Every structure is written in structure tokens, then in C-alpha cells.
Amino acid sequence: MGQIHLDKVSKCFGDVEVIPPLDLEIEDGEFVVFVGPSGCGKSTLLRLIAGLEDVSGGQVLIDGHDATTISPAKRGLAMVFQSYALYPHMSVRKNIAFPLRMAGLDKTEQDKRVVQAADVLNLTDYLDRRPGQLSGGQRQRVAIGRAIVREPAAFLFDEPLSNLDAALRVGMRLEISELHKRLATTMIYVTHDQVEAMTMADKIVVLNAGVVEQVGSPLELYHQPCNTFVAGFIGSPKMNLVQGEEAASYNATTIGIRPEHVMISKDNGLWKGTVGVSEHLGSDTFFHVKCDAFSAPLTVRASGAVELDYGASVFLSPDTSKLHRFDQTGQRLS
């Protein structure tokens, strides 16, 4: 079981309120991702759940029991840290066995579980090495191994992939998702990378300045962002958010249109503009188009086959059915 309920949890550091009272429900077996820009309080929130920080107000309930004042060790949660936090002077085997040793398990049981975990994570060949002799990805796996041997109620990941290179990150992303499917244990995952959030999560919690902006499945957030912050944060490249007369014509203060929902044409369209920088990814090309109607350039996603030179005159037309409208406070108008 790994059901976690936050009831009006808040956190202050001195006079600074980092997290205003916040409610959140995490179901058993869910993969929840906390995402937000750096400094939005997502790591702090995770540490509050872990018990590494004391809450300033409210309650943390784990499986229905009040865990607010329980020590981190007794909450039955396991955490994977950003720096992996492996014990450098212990072998991989001892690192993974450490929580079991602390729990006072007998030696044979420890060995059995370590070997099992190593098997799951492809670490069998590295058991007698020191962390210093491993690559980033392997260290990451050791950190996960140390978490899974405890058979915790929930896993907490604090930006675990941010120290890996891009290719490895994609691989580890898959591995963690795979692990979640296999173990079916609750996982809470903190990241500032919305791609990680979109690809891995069952449920995304978008945080901004300690406030939960929106909670929902990746596609809900993509299709129905409830305000301009979520709209701008979820999706890559970013949604185009424009204000002014053009927005007013749709009865909104701000309108948002995703780069993939704008048609680019040389001959005709709604908005006239000139092509700025274009980014070629092969499969797609992103054009930054400076339109006469807006002050900021629009990002447009087109097929990789489209070729346009810098400074070329083009016309853009949005797919109006995919248009997002927001009022003056940034809230979504349905």
C-alpha cells in the first residue's frame, strides 16, 4: 500500500512561506510527477513527504495514518536523490544492503534480496565495485536498487536523471517507467523537465511558487491547461501565448496556440509574417515567425520537408478548434 494524502501541508523557512497550505491526494500505485520551474518548491514538497523537512502546518497521511511527526526511516518510503547519495566507501553490494542491515535483517536474507535487486537492475557484474568505479547510469541504478530492496510503500525520486547525459536519460526514463509497471508501487517523481513529466506520469502536479496550478493526466494538461502558466509550461516547444487585439477578437485577454496547431503557408493565411530562425530536427522543423499582428515571434511546427529561408514572407493560420483562451487573470475560458 502506498496511498499518500497531504492535508493543508505548508512550509515556511523563517518568514518566507515556500509552500502555502496545499492539499494533494496520491493513490496507491500511481506514478505522480511534480513538475515546475526551479525554485517552485517541488523538491521541498517531496522532502516534506519524506520527512526530511518538518512541515510548518497541516498533516501528511500515509495509508490513512498520520505520519507528520514520524521519523523518515519509519515512514516506509524510499528515496532516490539527485546526487544518488551513494556511500562512496562501500561496495555496490554493501550500498544496496545498507537499509537491510540497518533494519537488522539476517545475512542470508540480505544477500538474497541484494542479488534479486541486482538482477532486476542488471547490476550483478558490478556488485563488488565501489560507486566511484561506476558510470552515471550505473550509479543511478545502484541508488534505485538501494531503494527497492526495502520494499517501500512508495518511492520518492528527486530529479534523478538531471545528472545524466541526454541519451542515457531517455534510457533511464524507460527503465524507471518499466520498473513502475512491474512493481506497481506508488512513485513520486520530481523534475523540472516537462518531457519527463509527460512521458512517465499517470498524474502530473504542476507547481508554481509552492502553489499547485493544476493536477491531471499528461493529456488533460496538454489539451486543457487551466491557466497560462500550465499552458506555457507543458508542451515542447512552448505554446504561443499572445495578447492584444487579435486575442480580443476571440473574446479573451490572452490566446494560446500550440506550435503544432499553426499552419504555415507561402500564399495565404490569417496572419502575415516573416520567417526568423528555423530549427531543423529532421522529422520536424520549428520556425520562429515574426508576425505583424504580434510583438513576440510565434513558434510554428512544420514537417521537416518544408523549407523556408530566413526573411521569407509567410502566412500563418491557427487551427481555431485547438485555440486556448484565457481571461485577464490568466484563467482558462472554456
User: Applying CB under 8 A, which residues contact other proteins?
Assistant: 50, 52, 71-73, 77-79, 81-83, 85-90, 98-99, 102-103, 132, 146, 150
- Show the cell assigned to 266: 507561402
| Residue (of 308, 303, 261, 306) closest to 289 by Cα position | 308
Residue 156 or 241 with smaller CB distance to other proteins: 156
Residue 102 or 174 with smaller CB distance to other proteins: 102
Beta strands 186-191 and 31-35 are parallel
DSSP class of residue 133 equals G
Question: 310 with 285: CB under 8 angstroms?
Answer: no
Residue 152 or 218 with smaller CB distance to other proteins: 152
Residue 187 or 257 with smaller CB distance to other proteins: 187
Least separation in angstroms between CB 14 and other proteins: 13
Q: Which residues pair with 331 in a beta bridge?
A: 227
Least separation in angstroms between CB 50 and other proteins: 6
Q: Which residues pair with 189 in a beta bridge?
A: 33, 157
What value does the CA radius of gyration of the chain take, rounded to a whole number of Å? 23
Least separation in angstroms between CB 63 and other proteins: 18
Residue 49 or 308 with smaller CB distance to other proteins: 49
Angle formed by the axes of helices 166-183 and 136-148, to 10°? 20
Residues near 329 by beta carbon (within 8 Å), at least 6 away in sequence: none
Least separation in angstroms between CB 314 and other proteins: 50
Residues found in the chain: 334
- Show the cell assigned to 310: 530566413
- Show the cell assigned to 27: 493513490
Residue 71 or 329 with smaller CB distance to other proteins: 71
Question: 68 with 7: CB under 8 angstroms?
Answer: no
- Where is 191: in which H helix or E strand? strand 186-191
Residues near 302 by beta carbon (within 8 Å), at least 6 away in sequence: 264, 284, 285, 286, 287
Least separation in angstroms between CB 130 and other proteins: 10
Residue 40 or 79 with smaller CB distance to other proteins: 79
Residue 47 or 169 with smaller CB distance to other proteins: 47
Least separation in angstroms between CB 188 and other proteins: 13
DSSP class of residue 312 equals -
Least separation in angstroms between CB 97 and other proteins: 10
Least separation in angstroms between CB 49 and other proteins: 11
